[in-house]
Structure 1
Amino acid sequence: MAWLVWALHPVNPQVVFVDKILMNSLEQLQQAEKELLPIFYGIDAQVKQNLQRVLDAFRYNNVGSHHFTGVSGYGHDDLGREILDKVFAQIMGAEDAVVRVQFVSGTHAIACALFGVLRPGGEMISVVGAPYDTLEEVIGLRGHGQGSLIDFGINYRQLDLTPQGTIDWQSLSQSVNDDTSLVLIQRSCGYSWRSSLSIAEIERIIKIVKKQNPNTICFVDNCYGEFVETIEPTHVKADLMAGSLIKNPGGTIVTAGGYIAGRSDLVEAAACRLTAPGIGSAGGATFDQLRLLFQGLFLAPQMVGEAIKGTHLISYVFDKLGYPVNPTPFTPRRDLVQAIELGSAEKLIAFCKAIQNNSPIDSYLHTIPHKMPGYESQVVMAGGTFIEGSTLEFSADGPLREPYVVYCQGGTHWTHIAIALETIINVLGANENLRNIR
């Protein structure tokens, strides 16, 4: 009867291809997991170091359950918030910090820092090429009349990267002058193909800048970088840095906010832009979020470790599939971003759709490219996250422009990323092979 069954249900060669792809994807993932075990062990050891740093700061500042109770109204004399600032500053190796739910994003925290310390007639230099898309309107490279830095008479220059996508160290050593008020050091690659910066590279930039002008402020956009290494930019004498709490330091449970850390006078100047001169860091109710802020900070090293494991897994698998990846497999991580050059809008959308379908929240939604505030190109985003926009939870996005690169970030469990990868490989592989056999 077997022949009759086959006659009634002939084997579809397309289905055979899909089955083979499924088997290959599982084998590839299993091989990747075996190969990456030593890397994963090293990441766990680093998590332990970072957790020790966090735990030491909590214990030194005698954090207790009474610090979870905030105040309302103006937010004056909020003991929990004041202790949180001290804990955060100690962890980051900074003189001071402001950790506030009033920062709506990392871009907002960065903007407050820049507007807080720059003055008309001063100059800012971006020393790692073009800044991230959302900073372009803050600086004044796009948009007009909204009060950008350029609108306020602050001059802007940028040092382009070398053709190899690296820092132009020669130009940097000759670029800073007496009028240079601040250099912008973007740690993460953003929507570019360059390598993200290591702490050692950031330290080298700072030394070169300070040799030319000791008064130039070295400011680091630290988004996606916290707890990726065992020290932060302020440990190597960055004057100021800023980031988002729905990225690394929020531990995936903080609902909103950002931080600024660094030299006390500069932190206070930035806080005055968030609130007002005369209020600065003394204001800002915490809206009963203090427990989450403390707990998220405690969880952050572990969550970052899981996300780093995920970047290694994605890089290994897609490199084996023949896609250009950045960083490459086994390369030490400098942030939580893993880029893959997919080569077509169709693949970019399909990739993000597969991640959305494997998300715990809103898995039934379709990813559609759309215009987003602050971005030049249409962007396709996947993020079925518990905290809207959280990029420490597993997510991906990319601008709808050539060469159609997808940027993956986050992941609370590397195993969740492995599960999603099975679907992604199958979707991309099936589309490719089905096209070829038609």
Structure 2
Amino acid sequence: MIDKTKELLKKQYNISDYVLGIYEKALKDVSSQFEKLNEIREYNQIKVLNAFQEERISDTHFTNSTGYGYGDIGRDTLDKVYAKIFNTESALVRPHFVNGTHAIAAALFGNLRPNDTMVSVCGTPYDTLHDVIGINKDDNKGSLKNFGVKYKQLELTNEGKINLNELKKMLNEDESIKLVHIQRSAGYGWRKCLSIADIKETVDTIKSVRKNIICFIDNCYGEFVETCEPTDVGADLIAGSLIKNIGGGIAPTGGYIAGKKEYVEQASYRLTIPGIGGECGSTFGVMRLFYQGLFLAPHISMEALKGAILCSRIMELAGFEVLPKYDDERSDIIQAIKFNDKDKLIKFCKGIQKGSPIDSFVECEPWDMPGYDDQVIMAAGAFVQGASIELSADAPIREPYIAYLQGGLTFDHSKIAILVALSKVLNN
């Protein structure tokens, strides 16, 4: 870092020499990791470019549609582009998905029926899925449980891996199991994310018992972090959010589902209605943003990942426990920092907010966020509300007080915001 930059950081953000010293040491430590990330970015950029070219994308595809949206060429062709990128038979990419959980829920409700059993093999799924599944609740809100879908859960091993032996035993003993839910990212847990190699091993194990079991992957935060996606290694169905990796920081809303044609079609009937599926749905003038965001996504995802790696090393050098460590293999963009202290956790999130381009003057506070059992604090000074491909940090207010940092449209912004957050935690 040049002296002029240091002086600006000190003047504008009150960054101390101590924090700048940690930063410079961390930056040297992580630099060797970035060469591999550049190779992944280039590979995935070629993959996306080729899909655009094969589908002959032009400004014709950026058109707007109204009403029913029949024959929306931009919408229908974007489905084909996604299918090519994910190496699948079909895809459903829509602005009508309000978040990643909505896309996941459509995939689950579309493909599960009364008396079917769904198995989560990564322990308890992400918090917002609890009401979708009906975990530990007997309500009448229309959860899977309310519609007669049974649920089983398999805990991870002590090493944070899927318990394949127990999974195989469970599948052999229960013929009602129709779908296995695999959460690639850790969510609000303390474990490493699943690599594509982990997912392949799990899918292979499932298919060795019964080939008709649906292997469903919650792919949120994982797109373009490796050179393969879950569908390249046998997953039947995946879902995710367009305001995470794959929207490239440009998509203003939406989600996607991709996989085998029959499973995507069933999911489309839950997004709209049976008999209509993906044939309807006007696109509100967002198609250019969806295409442009997808084109930028391989680059933006790597910018976010670089920020996460630097954050890991900075916070570790500052004395905090982090997961993953800066030199670990990664398969998503999330960085977890364990504070073991409620006040420090809140200060860190407030620091990320203070370092944001939007609403930097606002102090985020824990609140009763819909879909969560605990209060949640969310720092997200983003151009798109809640976009976690933009730099954000959030956490449930519960022990051991872990913050989850993700996103960052530019590595330079991530660096600054992390230094602001650390300074706030250390009161420097």
Which TM-score applies when normalising by structure 1? 0.92
2:147 to 131, 148, 152: 152
> CA offsets per residue over residues 19-63 of structure 1, 9 Å max, x none?
9x8112111111221222221122111101000000000000100
CA distance in 2, matches of 1:58, 1:292: 14
Counterpart in the other structure of 1:196: 193
CA distance in 1, matches of 2:233, 2:282: 32
Displacement, 1:321? 1.7
Counterpart in the other structure of 1:59: 53
Q: 4+ residue stretches of structure 1 with deviation over 4 A?
A: none
Would you say 1:356 and 2:353 are equivalent positions?
Answer: yes
Unpaired runs of 5+ in structure 2? 1-12
CA distance in 1, matches of 2:294, 2:326: 29
Structure number with greater Rg is 1
Q: Secondary structure, in 3 states, of the residue corresponding to 1:276?
A: coil
> CA offsets per residue over residues 282-327 of structure 1, 9 Å max, x none?
1111111110000000000000000010111011111112211010
Counterpart in the other structure of 2:310: 313
CA distance in 2, matches of 1:126, 1:226: 21
- 8 Å contact from structure 1 (residues 124, 184) kept in 2: yes
- 8 Å contact from structure 1 (residues 98, 281) kept in 2: yes
1:283-432 maps to which residues of 2 (within 5 A)? Answer: 283-430=280-427
CA distance in 2, matches of 1:63, 1:429: 50
Counterpart in the other structure of 1:162: 157
1:55-204 maps to which residues of 2 (within 5 A)? Answer: 55-143=49-137, 144-176=139-171, 177-204=174-201
Q: Which letter maps to 1:363?
A: S
- 8 Å contact from structure 2 (residues 244, 389) kept in 1: yes
1:266 to 246, 263, 266: 263
Would you say 1:49 and 2:67 are equivalent positions?
Answer: no
Counterpart in the other structure of 1:3: none
> CA offsets per residue over residues 147-187 of structure 1, 9 Å max, x none?
00010111100001123333222212212132110000000
Displacement, 1:142? 4.9
Displacement, 1:425? 2.1
CA distance in 2, matches of 1:29, 1:156: 46
CA distance in 1, matches of 2:286, 2:299: 21
Would you say 1:37 and 2:34 are equivalent positions?
Answer: no
Counterpart in the other structure of 2:19: 25
Q: Secondary structure, in 3 states, of the residue corresponding to 1:249?
A: helix
Is the deviation greater in 393-402 or in 134-143?
134-143
- 8 Å contact from structure 2 (residues 366, 375) kept in 1: yes
> CA offsets per residue over residues 316-373 of structure 1, 9 Å max, x none?
1111122110101211111011000011110111001101011000011111100111
- 8 Å contact from structure 1 (residues 70, 81) kept in 2: no
- 8 Å contact from structure 1 (residues 133, 375) kept in 2: yes
Q: Which letter maps to 1:240?
A: L
CA distance in 2, matches of 1:58, 1:326: 36
Count of aligned pairs = 413
- 8 Å contact from structure 1 (residues 178, 213) kept in 2: no
Q: Secondary structure, in 3 states, of the residue corresponding to 2:169?
A: coil
- 8 Å contact from structure 1 (residues 183, 216) kept in 2: yes
> CA offsets per residue over residues 107-163 of structure 1, 9 Å max, x none?
000000000000001000001111000000000015511000010111100001123
Displacement, 1:70? 2.6
Displacement, 1:219? 0.3
CA distance in 2, matches of 1:227, 1:81: 22
- 8 Å contact from structure 1 (residues 109, 244) kept in 2: yes
Q: Which letter maps to 1:174?
A: K
Displacement, 1:64? 0.5
1:200-219 maps to which residues of 2 (within 5 A)? Answer: 200-219=197-216
Unpaired runs of 5+ in structure 1? 1-17, 432-438
Q: Secondary structure, in 3 states, of the residue corresponding to 2:427?
A: helix
- 8 Å contact from structure 2 (residues 123, 154) kept in 1: yes
Displacement, 1:94? 1.0
CA distance in 2, matches of 1:223, 1:427: 29
Displacement, 1:403? 0.2
Identity of aligned residues (%): 48
Q: Secondary structure, in 3 states, of the residue corresponding to 1:99?
A: strand
CA distance in 1, matches of 2:117, 2:162: 20
CA distance in 2, matches of 1:422, 1:117: 45
- 8 Å contact from structure 1 (residues 70, 79) kept in 2: no
Q: Secondary structure, in 3 states, of the residue corresponding to 2:257?
A: strand
CA distance in 2, matches of 1:81, 1:70: 9
- 8 Å contact from structure 1 (residues 162, 168) kept in 2: yes
Displacement, 1:430? 2.5
Is the deviation greater in 306-315 or in 26-35?
26-35
Q: Secondary structure, in 3 states, of the residue corresponding to 2:182?
A: strand
